[in-house]
Structure 1
Amino acid sequence: MSVRLKLTLSYAGFLMVTGVLLLAVVWVFLLRYVPEQTYTPGSSAPGGLGSTFIPNQGDLARAFFPRATAALALLLVLGLLGGWVLAGRMLSPLRRITHAARRTTGSLPHPIRLEGRQDEFRELADTFDAMLARLEAHIAEQQRFAANASHELRTPLAITQTLLEVAGNDPARDADELIDRLRYVNTRAIDLTEALLVLSRADQGSFTREPVDLSLIAEEATETLLPLAEKHGLTIETSGDVAPALGSYALLLQLTTNLVHNAIVHNLPGHGSVWVTTSVRAGTVALTVENTGEQLTPQLVSTLAEPFQRGTGRVRGDHAGVGLGLAIVRSIATAHGGSLALAARADGGLRVRVQLPVMHASGAASRV
């Protein structure tokens, strides 16, 4: 049975029930004023000589029930016809929604853009359009990511092929130099592949959650990267409060390491600084990483968390990134129910703030 037929039967059934109740009330009301048997004064039997006819309950039943049955039959016909028409009018926006969902523009359904007054169907159509917009934006982002990832993965493979071709054409070339360069290119390819795997793992949310302390994670990350900071002539300061959260220790360590690594690499060589702080406020824990550096525009800062985006051009050197550092940070923060905020410092450099739900004593985490 279609929804329209179900609504029609529902309307007709409700109308019939209402009609039966109304006729029952009328019948009960009439019975109060009509006696069971009536006789005229002075007559020995009803209908006798000289009697006056006065209807009783039997007469009322013979006159009432045929007409009540005809009225109910008419109500049934009107209920079915009227219910069918009303159900069709009520479901017409739903048919438009269905028709729009069946149409396709590329690989996505066509937006509905339902007009008219604001009702449940209009709300459903607007929600459908908003969902399509988010889905289209997500697909476009995934397509850009796939194209950028393919380009980034193709680069080390192309370099490797070029090095091998040069070595084949020049047998006298230094083999040690070739091996070093191939090792470096291969390491870059491995780093990129591992970063892609971490990003995929964070996006899927397939990890075990456990109580962690962001302040301890920050200390571990800064200690690990301290030799790199000393090599660049930078100072790292770590401070803050105990910051209890609920999540994956390995992923949150990856998040913190990426932030500190970016702060070291994108800094002022020889005299820069990095500040790592943790705090707790209003049901959230925050990890803030700031660094000195070049002046950044708001337009550039807004794109830094996109995959394969680099703040001041491609980084060269032994500790060059793969362009996924902040993208991984954002995905990990989102997977933990948190958020990522980037802001340019007035004196140059970048301020990155990650907020996560705080873990209460009961072991539950508050939402950001």
Structure 2
Amino acid sequence: MSVRLKLTLSYTAFLMLASGLMLMAGWFFLTRVEHVGLRFDPGYEIPVAREFAPVAAVTMLFMLVFGLGGGWILAGRMLAPLDRITHATRTAANGSLSHRIRLPGRADEFRELADAFDAMLERLEAHVAEQQRFAANASHELRTPLAISKSLLDVARTDPHHDTTELVDRLHTVNARAIDLTEALLLLSRAQRRSFTRERVDLSLMAEEATETLLPLAEGRDVTLETGGHIAPAIGSPALLLQLITNLVQNAIVHNVPEGGTVRVHTSVRPHTVVLTVENTGAHLPPEQIATLTEPFQRGTQRTHAQHAGVGLGLAIADTITRAHDGTLTLTPRPTGGLHVTVELPAAPPAPGDP
């Protein structure tokens, strides 16, 4: 049976039960209670019952028909929002995510369900669009090193006397870039799936480790690294959080002024969160460009293929890792040029023995 039919029978059964109880109460008061002034003598109870029974039967029959008809209409009106939700679900199952239910009327359980479904469709549509854009960009980025490798191999095949040392070096560079891009894509996918084990970590120690690892890169670019702050305990994946800080510091080093640049890394603690800030000198960035820097394959400056130039996924990976740890990443342009990045993560609960 359909839900509408079940509700109709339920309404009718309740109505019939209520009607039967009312008839029984009426018969009881007519024949048993003296103060109503209508108590019958025992000898007249049987004739009264014979007259009362047909009236009761007709009344119950009328209530049955009325209950079935009224219950069917009432159940249909109550379940009408579900028809719209069902239609929207089937449309979404067929691949269309652009429609919305937008259920009118007062706020009730059906309205709450419809609004939640609309919000889910909006998130799904945005996620699918983001994935499609990411897949297109990834295909384009992966096609570039493959096309370069093909061109180099074609040159080697058509020109046997070409300098093989130079060819091998260029192929090695292109292949290394393709490997870096593939590893970055795998890391991004892992962070999006949140398939990692969480444990207690100290962001200040990870900031020191990341800056020590990137110190040769900073010295080669005449960039000064400054690290400081307080112990900042958080809960998460040590490998992913280290990658997050490394990406931010490397991005700050690469996208800096040509000479005499500075990168400052600082950790701090708030009542319920821990904060990591990475600030660097550099070129002036317009606000509209800042909003796109966390999208995959977006770079703050023109595309470059120098060493450690990155594959355009550094900030995208950092943003994904931050969101996977239930945190927020904020990019703010500095008035004098460069970028101020703030990562705020939930603080770890106090460990046993902490003051």
Letter of the 2:181 partner, please give it. L
Match of 1:277 among 263, 266, 269: 266
- Count of aligned pairs: 347
Which of 69, 82, 95 aligns to 1:81? It is: 69
Q: Does 1:63 align with 2:64?
A: no
The aligned residue for residue 206 of structure 1 is 195
- Equivalent position of 1:311 in the other structure: 300
The structure with the largest helix share of the pair is 2
- Conservation of the 8 A alpha-carbon contact between 1:212 and 1:245: yes
Structure-1 residue corresponding to 2:154: 165
Per the TM alignment, residue 260 of structure 1 is displaced from its structure 2 partner at its CA by: 0.3
Bigger radius of gyration: 1
2:255 matched residue in structure 1: 266
The residue that corresponds to 1:32 in the other structure is 33
Partner SS state of residue 19, structure 2: helix
For residues 22 and 283 of structure 1, the distance between their equivalents in structure 2, rounded to whole angstroms, comes to 62
- What residue in structure 2 maps to residue 189 of structure 1? 178
Range with bigger deviation, 208-217 or 125-134:
125-134
Give distance in 1, aligned partners of 2:90 and 2:266: 52
Tell me if the contact between 2:328 and 2:344 (Cα under 8 Å) persists in the aligned partners: yes
2:87, 2:305 → 1: CA distance? 54
Question: How big is the alpha-carbon RMSD for the aligned residues of Structure 1 and Structure 2?
Answer: 2.0
Q: Which residue is 2:14 aligned to?
A: 14
Cα pair 2:85 2:101 within 8 Å, conserved: no
| Residue in structure 1 matched with residue 209 of structure 2 by the alignment | 220
The residue that corresponds to 1:23 in the other structure is 23
Give how far 1:16 is off: 1.2
Q: Is the contact between residue 97 and residue 124 of structure 2 (CA under 8 Å) also seen in structure 1?
A: no
Identify the range of structure 1 (178-187 vs 297-306) with the bigger mean alpha-carbon deviation. Answer: 178-187
What SS class does the counterpart of residue 108 from structure 1 fall into?
coil
How far 1:149 sits from its partner (Å)?
A: 0.3
Which of 86, 90, 100 is matched with 1:102 structurally?
90
Amino acid of the structure 2 residue aligned with 1:28? F
316-325 or 142-151, larger mean C-alpha shift = 316-325
More displaced, 255-264 or 79-88?
79-88
Rate the CA distance shift 1:183–1:117 in 2: closer, same or farther, 3 A. same
Q: Deviations over 1:76-129 (max 9, x none)?
A: 111001111121222223223323433469821562444532343344333323
Q: TM-score, normalised by structure 2?
A: 0.92
Could you give the per-residue CA deviations for residues 257-280 of structure 1, whole angstroms, max 9, x where no partner exists?
Answer: 000000000001220000001111
CA contact (8 A) 1:102 1:109 kept: no
Q: Distance in 2 between matches of 1:114 and 1:186?
A: 51
**Where in structure 2 are the equivalents of 1:231-270 lying within 5 Å?**
231-270=220-259
Aligned residue type for 1:78: F
Asked if residue 296 in structure 1 is aligned to residue 297 in structure 2, the reply is: no
Q: Using the TM superposition, give the Cα deviation of residue 144 of structure 1 relative to its aligned residue in structure 2, in angstroms.
A: 0.6
Contact 1:296 1:349 in 2 (8 A): yes
Q: Contact 1:202–1:331 at 8 Å: present in 2 too?
A: yes
Distance 2:57 2:17 in 1: 13
Structure 1 counterpart of 2:297, one-letter code: F
Q: 1:269 to 1:106 in 2, by over 3 A?
A: farther
User: TM-score, with normalisation over the residues of structure 1?
Assistant: 0.89
Q: Which runs of 5+ in 2 are unaligned?
A: none
Look up the equivalent residue of 1:274 and give its one-letter code: V
Which range moved further: 91-100 or 204-213? 91-100
Q: What per-residue deviation string (whole Å, max 9, x for no partner) do you get for residues 323-348 of structure 1? A: 00011011111111111111101110
Gaps (5+ residues) in structure 1? 39-45, 47-54, 364-368
